[in-house]
Amino acid sequence: MKLAELSKINMDIEHMEMRRTMVETELTNLHAGEDILDISKEQFWNTIERRSALYLEHKSVYHSYSGKSTYSIFDVVNDKIYISNIRTGRTNSNFSKRTTDVAIDRLIAHGGKIPVGQFIPVKMHEYTVVTLHPNLMEKDGCVCWINEEVISVTEEMIPEHNGEMPPDEWVSTENFLAVLLDGKKALIGQGRKIVIFFREEHPQFNVGEDPEYPWQTKHWKWVGPGILYWGHHSATQKVVAYP
């Protein structure tokens, strides 16, 4: 019993030390002052709520950062967003504006880059918020805020690839648009099929960064700005671009 008690105390101490380090980092960033982000909590929530309604309408499926777990929006009601865990069938997990308000405070205090799991402690809630908001992405174990103007890609923005190869660099050409697909750099063009050349590895797709071999499908549509819906299983990706 005493060994178990000691183990629990040591775990509590480790947790408190991690919490202290996080708070010290937040204080350092806040004292710096000049790099504090300006994120409207009201606009942030409105964006999340509006896009979750589109995901709900189309029964869109999205993934965890690793691509192993899948989720969908179960309901948007009473200022709450309910999530369906497709593996377990659980549908009662939900979050509200209060959750995203606190998450924004943490993100701002960290200067726009916060370790995964510290942005929102409940994993599926964090996955959902990062999936839905155009300015958020996961990169190198952190949730990052894109502090630039981003454009949610629409079908009209995608050029015809005309059988041409994309550039080696991540730049737009007359045949390809440089995008961030779930935060991963890619080049995208369309014809009979939509064609995507990844310039960073994406855990959900079975293609690497080889510049000559794209991912492609003839079953796709855009169900909203920045929301690419493809295949036969309601798979959905977030696609944004810079001006």
Q: How much is the pTM?
A: 0.85
Q: What is the pLDDT of residues 196-209, one digit of tens each?
A: 999 998 988 866 55
Q: What is the pLDDT of residues 28-66, one digit of tens each?
A: 766 665 566 889 999 999 999 999 999 999 999 999 999
Q: Give mean pLDDT, residues 19-28.
A: 72
Please give the Cα distance from 46 to 133 (Å, whole number).
Answer: 10
Please give the Cα distance from 59 to 24 (Å, whole number).
Answer: 42
How many C-alpha atoms does 83 have within 13 Å on its Cβ side?
Answer: 25
Residue 20's pLDDT is 79
State whether the Cα torsion 100-203-114-149 is positive or negative.
negative
Extents of the domains making up the chain: 1-35, 41-145, 151-241
Provide the greatest CA pair distance for the chain.
Answer: 71
- Contact between residue 100 and residue 125 where contact means Cβ atoms under 8 Å apart: no
Q: To the nearest whole percent, how much of the chain has pLDDT over 90?
A: 76
2-12 b/e (C-beta count within 10 Å ≥ 16 → b) = eeeeeeeeeee
- Under the banding of pLDDT at 50, 70 and 90, the label for residue 130 is very high
- Contact between residue 133 and residue 180 where contact means Cβ atoms under 8 Å apart: no
> 123-132 and 41-57 are packed helices; what angle lies between their axes, rounded to 10 degrees?
90
- Contact between residue 133 and residue 115 where contact means Cβ atoms under 8 Å apart: no
Please give the Cα distance from 222 to 228 (Å, whole number).
Answer: 5
Q: What is the pLDDT of residues 138-191, one digit of tens each?
A: 999 999 999 889 999 999 999 999 999 999 899 999 999 999 999 999 999 999
